[in-house]
Structure 1
Amino acid sequence: MIRLHHVPLARSLRVMWLLEELGLDYQVAYYSIRDGSMRSAEFLALSPAGRVPVLEHQRAVWFESGAIVQLLCETYPEAGLMPALGSAERARCLEIFGYAETVGCLLENLNLNQVFLRPPAQPAPVVVKLLNARLRASLAAMEARMEEEYLLPSGFSAADVMFAYGFELARYYVDLDAYPRLMAYWARLRARPAYVRAKARDGVQDLYTQEFYPVPEGA
């Protein structure tokens, strides 16, 4: 039995997409960050920080999206979605795993400042301006390095699953048209059948109430 604990459009979407790429059968337990369901004793027994994703994989319980992605790839190496230990691309792949979380942390802080805190949100303009600038710089750095169809020269991999999630969410804070190489890359990823299936199971997100959150005036 494989069971994914999931919030629509949260980091657990990475795991859902990877499960589809691997062709695995799995169940989904849906949660919302707004209703307190992830603070229950039952959920905290699975995820100490009270966050998704959690993956129940046979008799194991895994949490943290980067760890789950790596564990799945190593459990199913025949899929070829992560370079083998000692291969030339292994270091690059792990770098992207870490970089994806750099982008994710910036997005999380923007979420806190512009979406979740002090309803209705009254973000600190200087803080939001700095976070937004750092997010744009992080995307620009990947734009400059985007020379292949995917992030690794050998083709599609778990590195794409990790990084692309943050790029998808960045649209709420920055103009993605400023990154034409990444936009073309993102279009290729969205066309993958596994991604289409994952989005069909993702559910209705209740994280964002606007299509775009500009930097506050006065920043």
Structure 2
Amino acid sequence: MSIVLYHHPFSRAAGVVWMLEELGVPYELRFVDIMQGAQKSAELLALNPMGKLPVLVDGDAVVTESAAIGLYLADRYSLGRLAPRPDDPARATYLRWSLFAPSVIEPGSLAKAAHWEFKPSQAGWGDHESMLRAMESAVTGREFLLGDHFSMADVIFGGTLRYMLRFNMLETRPAFVAYSDRLGARPALQRSEARNLAVAKERGLDT
């Protein structure tokens, strides 16, 4: 087993468990007590100077940032299935929505919640309503982001969407809810949720 995920069930590493379950590859979860600041330990800082989770180690490769981890894993372990091949036109859409999640949805939602004042033309995420319309366009009239074909982009984009719906950080538009429900029916997602819950119980975090 070469894949090690530095993990806490209440961190973004929880979503990487879904990625790994979709791949069906063996992996080890290495618990990091973020409540005690263990993510700032010398060991973790050597892997990720940001001192944050997730951190994935695959042999000699070290990957941080959830979207980067997803793209890396899909290319390495599921090229042609969870990741379109480089010569497949669908890869353009795949990359577009994979990067839209951390580049637009996350900062755009934070800006809205925190009532930031800025000119949309000067922010990479633009204005909130345009962001929502773009998200709707991505999931309306198709099963997944690439049509009938599920991909790692759905884990990255869809994971962000599901998290924000759960914590009322995003409008519950019908297209969002329907897409979230489709993702929630995936066995790999259900397995990942069970595994994250098991770690939380084991560590006494579920009380």
> For the superposition of Structure 1 and Structure 2, which TM-score range results when normalised by the shorter chain?
0.7 to 0.9
- CA–CA separation in structure 2 for the residues paired with 1:173 and 1:51: 24
Q: Does the alignment pair 1:199 with 2:200?
A: no
Which residues of structure 2 form unaligned runs of 5+?
121-125, 202-207
- CA–CA separation in structure 2 for the residues paired with 1:30 and 1:134: 38
Partner AA of 1:50 in structure 2? G
- CA–CA separation in structure 1 for the residues paired with 2:41 and 2:170: 38
- CA–CA separation in structure 2 for the residues paired with 1:96 and 1:175: 17
User: 8 Å contact 1:107–1:166 — kept in the other structure?
Assistant: no
Q: Which residue of 2 aligns with 1:123?
A: none
What TM-score, normalized by structure 1, do the two folds share? 0.75
Partner AA of 2:190 in structure 1? V
Q: CA deviation at 1:33?
A: 4.0
- CA–CA separation in structure 1 for the residues paired with 2:110 and 2:58: 27
Partner AA of 1:127 in structure 2? W
What TM-score, normalized by structure 2, do the two folds share? 0.79
Alpha-carbon distance change, 37 to 134 in structure 1, aligned in 2, over 3 angstroms = farther
Q: Which residue of 1 aligns with 2:143?
A: 149
Which secondary structure does the structure 1 equivalent of 2:160 belong to? helix
Q: Does the alignment pair 1:164 with 2:158?
A: yes
Question: Which string of whole-angstrom CA distances, capped at 9 and with x for unpartnered residues, describes residues 59-100 of structure 1?
Answer: 322212222111111111356101110211111111111211
Q: Which residue of 2 aligns with 1:15?
A: 16
Sequence identity, in percent? Answer: 35
Provide the aligned length of Structure 1 versus Structure 2.
Answer: 188
User: 8 Å contact 1:82–1:90 — kept in the other structure?
Assistant: yes
- CA–CA separation in structure 2 for the residues paired with 1:6 and 1:107: 25
Q: Which residue of 1 aligns with 2:116?
A: 127
- CA–CA separation in structure 2 for the residues paired with 1:79 and 1:8: 30
Greater relative contact order: 1 or 2 (C-alpha under 8 angstroms, separation 6 or more)? 1
Question: Which string of whole-angstrom CA distances, capped at 9 and with x for unpartnered residues, describes residues 150-199 of structure 1?
Answer: 0112510011011012112212244643x111211111111101000111
Q: Which residue of 2 aligns with 1:139?
A: 132
- CA–CA separation in structure 2 for the residues paired with 1:58 and 1:186: 33
- CA–CA separation in structure 1 for the residues paired with 2:54 and 2:130: 27
Which residues of structure 1 form unaligned runs of 5+?
114-125, 206-219
